[in-house]
Amino acid sequence: MPRVARLSFTPVRGLGLTHPESIELTDVGLVEDRRFYIVDDHGRLVDRLRAGSLVRVSAETDPEATWLRFTLPNGSVVEGDIRLDEPVRTEIYGRLAKGHVVGGPWAAALEPFVGRPVLLVRCDLPGGTRIKDGETHVRNAISLVSDGSLAELARQLGVPSVDGRRFRMLIEIEGARPHEEDTWIGDRAAIGSAVLSITKPDARCAITTQDPDTGERDLDTLRTLLRYRGFRPDDDERKIDFGVLGEVAQPGTIRVGDEVAVLAADRTAA
């Protein structure tokens, strides 16, 4: 039976990943995940598509996002309590994130990795970058990929292995066949005390071509996925998929080593 191999998240969109031994999922997902994001002085989102070296900075926060800590590549630390300034709204890949600019030293600490002035924003609500304007429902609260899929991608690339961190998935599992997780779409997966509803494939972007430690482009993941998997069928947006997305059907705790039990839906139901 497949098991959880690694858990990954970051409190600040685009920064380096944290790998806890357990996570506590609520109905909006992991509340610390991507609670903050970065914009430039024109209010445009700054992520690793525009500044890949942001991955060299790691972050920590509390569930209420009232405290923040950055650890920089040289080992220096920037931390303290959050002070919120003016409100801001940001277009993020078709969604309107609502938050407040964070005052204090954090934005200045990130500027050397972006190369220009930036602002740090805290979403007003957990899951804020995954909520469409006018809605309250958090979309794509969880993401999942298997070791079998990573192994098949490595084979197609002709490399010994592919580090799952470059896909920045919340849950990595081991003991699965290549792309087995795709067959779970429409089903539920019980992991630990949580139950996840697997809803759709995960469309990938150029961030997956970047080394997860440096942010430098080093693998042609997208072209390789396109070659052996093609675009998503019957989709005019020409999406290239790898891994799956889902929602939290039952909140609970997930730990590294937990078994993944797939609860197949009744396909014959009317």
Within 10 angstroms of residue 27's Cβ, the number of other Cβ atoms is 14
What is the predicted pLDDT for the residue at 266? 65
Q: Which pLDDT band, with edges at 50, 70 and 90, does 136 fall under? A: low
Token representation of residue 72: 């920089």
Strand-pair partners of 248: 196
pTM for this model (two decimals): 0.93
124-128 own/partner pairs: CB under 8 Å, 24+ apart: 124/98, 124/99, 124/100, 125/28, 125/98, 126/26, 126/28, 126/29, 126/31, 126/32, 126/35, 126/65, 127/28, 127/29, 127/31, 127/33, 127/34, 128/35, 128/97, 128/98, 128/99
What is the predicted pLDDT for the residue at 38? 97
What is the predicted pLDDT for the residue at 270? 44
Domains defined for the chain, CATH in brackets:
3-9+139-263 (2.40.33.20), 31-130 (no CATH)
| pLDDT tens digits for range 43-86 | 999 999 899 999 999 999 999 999 999 999 999 999 999 999 99
Strand-pair partners of 24: 253
| pLDDT tens digits for range 160-213 | 999 999 999 999 999 999 999 999 999 999 999 999 999 999 999 999 999 999
